[in-house]
Amino acid sequence: MSGKLYLVATPIGNLEDITLRALKILKEVDLIAAEDTRNTLKLLNHFEIKKPLISNHRHNEEQKEEVLINKLKDGQNIAIVSDAGTPGISDPGEVIVKKAIEENIEVIPVPGACAAINALIVSGLNTAEFTFYGFLPLNKKLRKEKLEEIKNETKTSIIYEAPHKIKDTLKDLKEIVDERKIVLARELTKIHEEFIRGSIEKIIEKSENLKGEMILLIEGTEKKEKENVLNNLSLEEHYNFYEKQGIDKKEIIKKIAKDRGVSKNEIYQYFIK
Ligand code: SAM
């Protein structure tokens, strides 16, 4: 019988945030696949857990997949952990989970810390609906497209950012997204935990020389505003906006008709011509 694949969340700073179940699973599995074995070793040593470790980072995830799947098929139970937080969330995990499901291997989540969710719940922004963007693309064009998407997003947007890039990202947000409530959540669960809330200008002012791990949360735009923005585009641009989100033709036509308050047929006829 195949073993089980556990995705185990680990703390994002404060070691007390590890769960009892996470410790139990880490003690019980045959092998731990870690994003950085040195980091995970420190965590395991702290909790006096001795377990074989194998590296499974972003750059070798595809190669490691086969090794891990074979071990699971041999009946070994494996835990996937990342350096911090929930595996698979801007961290390795997704590739092996997809493969395990294809191979009918049981995949089990072991919940715990996730920086995005914890920043969101104390942000003071809407929590009912949100969009997680992870890290913004480095490519200039793709980055601009993502920022445009955030500008038109009605839900709370969440971005992960590296400390040395925060200045540039805030500058880009000011240029493209502009007037919006922003929250910068820093060093969650650590000694210097801090939340800076306010306009983009205020965040830029206060984030000078800030260090540590950071997340940006951006208030969603009013729906009306979004519709106005879209309705001011040409029909082709309006179409492209939805196409970039991977929406299919039929659905795009439906959405454009809804945004513009016209019939689907009217939009359909336009594109046929
Ligand atoms: N898998 C992790 C999770 O569940 O949140 C995220 C890993 S991602 C590689 C690292 C990014 O998460 C950081 O650049 C930062 O944006 C955010 N992050 C992680 N820990 C954090 C913390 N303690 N405080 C603020 N942001 C944090």
Residue 241 vs residues 136, 148, 234, 252: alpha-carbon distances, Å: 18, 9, 11, 9
Confidence check: pLDDT of 173 > 80: yes
pLDDT band, very low/low/confident/very high, at 61 (cuts 50, 70, 90): confident
Q: Which residue in the block uniquely carries the two structure tokens 């098929």? A: 73
Three-class secondary structure of residue 252 per DSSP: helix
- Nearest-CA residue for ligand 1 atom 2 is 85
Bigger pLDDT: 176 or 9? 9
Q: Does 131 share its domain with 193?
A: yes
Q: Does 197 share its domain with 149?
A: yes
Our CA dihedral for 63, 68, 74, 77, rounded to 10 degrees, sits at 180
Q: Which residue in the block uniquely carries the two structure tokens 């994002």? A: 12
Confidence check: pLDDT of 30 > 80: yes
Q: Does 187 share its domain with 228?
A: no
Give residue 114 CA to ligand 1 midpoint distance, Å.
7
**CATH at residue 34:** 3.40.1010.10
The predicted pLDDT at position 208 comes to 84
Least confident of 52-56, 109-113, 269-273: 269-273
Nearest to 116 by CA among 100, 135, 140: 135
Least confident of 56-70, 104-118, 127-141: 56-70
Atom of ligand 1 nearest to the CA of 193: 24
> In angstroms, rounded to a whole number, what is the distance separating the alpha carbons of residues 174 and 169?
9
- The total number of structural domains in the chain stands at 3
Over residues 107-125, mean pLDDT: 98
Give residue 164 CA to ligand 1 midpoint distance, Å.
14
Last residue of a domain, one of 112, 141, 158: 112
DSSP string, 40-89: HHHHHHHTT----EEE--TTTHHHHHHHHHHHHHTT--EEEE-SSB-TTS
Nearest to 155 by CA among 174, 180, 175: 180
Q: Residues 118-169: pLDDT tens digits? A: 999 999 999 999 999 999 999 989 999 999 999 989 999 999 999 888 988 9
Q: Residues 223-270: pLDDT tens digits? A: 666 667 788 889 999 999 889 888 889 999 998 988 888 899 999 999
pLDDT band, very low/low/confident/very high, at 60 (cuts 50, 70, 90): confident
The predicted pLDDT at position 189 comes to 98
Q: Does 13 share its domain with 103?
A: yes
Q: Does 107 share its domain with 71?
A: yes
The predicted pLDDT at position 260 comes to 86
With beta carbons less than 8 A apart as the criterion, state whether 11 and 60 touch: no
- Nearest-CA residue for ligand 1 atom 12 is 160
Give residue 78 CA to ligand 1 midpoint distance, Å.
23
Over residues 77-101, mean pLDDT: 96
Give residue 255 CA to ligand 1 midpoint distance, Å.
34
The predicted pLDDT at position 229 comes to 78
Tokens at 67, concatenated: 């090794």
Give residue 36 CA to ligand 1 midpoint distance, Å.
15
Q: Does 138 share its domain with 199?
A: yes
Q: Does 67 share its domain with 158?
A: no
Q: List residues near ligand 1 (CB under 6 A).
A: 12-13, 82, 84-86, 89-91, 114-116, 160-162, 185-190, 213-215
Q: Which residue in the block uniquely carries the two structure tokens 């089980």? A: 4
> In angstroms, rounded to a whole number, what is the distance separating the alpha carbons of residues 264 and 114?
41
Atom of ligand 1 nearest to the CA of 185: 25
Q: What are phi and psi of 99, to 5 degrees?
A: -65, -40
When computed from its CA atoms, the radius of gyration of the chain, rounded to whole angstroms, is 22
- Nearest-CA residue for ligand 1 atom 11 is 160
**What is the per-residue burial (b if ≥16 Cβ within 10 Å, else e) of 14-37?**
eeebbbeebbebbeebebbbbbeb
Q: Does 212 share its domain with 234?
A: no
Q: Does 237 share its domain with 254?
A: yes
Over residues 165-189, mean pLDDT: 92
Q: Does 79 share its domain with 106?
A: yes
Confidence check: pLDDT of 101 > 70: yes
Tokens at 211, concatenated: 């260090």
The predicted pLDDT at position 62 comes to 76
Least confident of 56-65, 197-206, 240-249: 56-65
Least confident of 190-199, 208-217, 219-228: 219-228
Find the domain containing 133 and state its range: 116-221
Confidence check: pLDDT of 27 > 80: yes
The whole-chain average pLDDT of the chain stands at 93
Last residue of a domain, one of 62, 81, 112: 112
**CATH at residue 157:** 3.30.950.10
The predicted pLDDT at position 59 comes to 78
Last residue of a domain, one of 198, 221, 244: 221
Residue 240 vs residues 151, 157, 232, 257: alpha-carbon distances, Å: 16, 21, 13, 14
Q: Does 78 share its domain with 50?
A: yes
Q: Does 13 share its domain with 74?
A: yes
